[in-house]
Amino acid sequence: MFDWLQHIADYIVFDAFGMNASSHLAEALNFFIYDSIKILILLFVIIFFMGIVNSYFPIDKVQNYLSRKKLYGLEYLMASLFGTVTPFCSCSSVPLFIGFVSGGIPLGVTFAFLITSPLVNEVAVGLFVGLFGVKTTVIYVVSGVLLGAISGMILQTFKLEKYLSPWVKEILANAQKEQDVFVADKQSFSNRLPVIWYEALKIIKGILPYLLIGIAVGGLMHGYVPEGFFEQYMSKDNWLAVPISTLLAVPMYSNASGILPVVQVLVAKGIPLGTAIAFMMGVVGLSLPEAMLLKKVMTWKLIAIFFGTVTVCIIISGYLFNIIF
């Protein structure tokens, strides 16, 4: 989808700036340019689209429907399954997460999406089949979907909405006021667009500093942290290898497709499959850049609860994979 953008980033770094393609700085800068533009595009398109949807489906109605209908947890499973068809990394998933929250979707349901989206996608599944076979792939996909759904259900029970940042609460309040005006005045679609456009730009302006800082951190990690640096801590003889691998993966920012070849190398070197997959899940599902982006949306306490819950679920998945395989 974004191959054209990669060409632009390559041209800027390697042709316009004349940087050496093998240098760490060039790799970090290339990553920063590509991811910044990509996420900004995603952010604007998603928020603008959600603004249109929200103008016709008021937040309070969405909330009332989801609170009154007994879906018996299917809403978490549906959000998790939706995450499997969105080929986003953890940072790219944040814009859609913001759109869900502003659309009145319960926080636990949005968390289910946010967790699964970077872990499982069609590209990663295709690579997984080629590298590890169909049986392992099926177990990985099922565990990834269940990880998102169960984590979302757990987080929803904590009633964490109060830990959303004041900025998000203001966005929600403004969105509800705009919807009331739209409904009361029966405004046409063309009259609603300027207001929706303005609010989308306002949201992007508010999150932009956090976006750039987060991607800059990811670029530095991507360019300067060697991929084989953590292998010494992932030995099969170390019964703490799974939690250690999960925690050490946090600085290694990548998407599932990018980290899968590394996982194959780790397994080939004798690292247990569950430990290697826990490392991969930590890389794509828990990252410092994602935390920086989420800081605009959540308080540090909510980020800690979210990351803690996901970490525990990843560790459990890693141990289960090691037992099965």
The SS3 of residue 189 is helix
2 assigned to some structural domain: no
Residue 250 is part of which domain span?
A: 31-174+187-324
27: three-class secondary structure by DSSP: helix
**Is 22 among the domain residues?**
no
The CA distances from residue 238 to 6, 235, 241, 247, 299, in Å, are 40, 6, 5, 15, 35
Pairwise pLDDT comparison (85 vs 240), residue with the higher score = 240
CB 323 within 8 A of CB 286: no
* Pairwise CA distance, residues 299 & 163, whole Å: 6
In a domain, 179, yes or no: no
> Could you tell me if residue 1 is inside a domain?
no
Residue 219, amino acid = G
Q: What is the 3-state secondary structure (H, E, C) of 223-247?
A: HHCCCCCCHHHCCCCCCCHHHHHHH
- Residue 72 phi/psi, 5-degree rounding, is 55, 40
Count of CB atoms situated within 10 Å of the CB of 120: 29
- Find where tokens 């959000």 sit: 79
Asked whether residue 25 is domain-assigned, the answer is no
pLDDT of residue 91: 59
Mean pLDDT is lowest, of 72-86, 119-133, 167-181, for 167-181
Asked if residue 19 is part of any domain, the answer here is no
304, part of any domain: yes
Global confidence as pTM: 0.66
Across 141-169, average pLDDT:
87
pLDDT of 232-263, one tens digit each?
667 767 788 899 888 887 776 666 656 776 77
- Residue 6 resides in a domain: no
Structure confidence by residue, pLDDT tens digits, 8-38? 999 999 989 989 888 888 888 988 888 788 8
Residue 301 CA to its chain's centroid (Å)? 18
Residue 289, pLDDT > 80, answer no
**Number of folded domains that form the chain:** 1
| Nearest 10 degrees: Cα torsion 226, 213, 194, 2 | -10
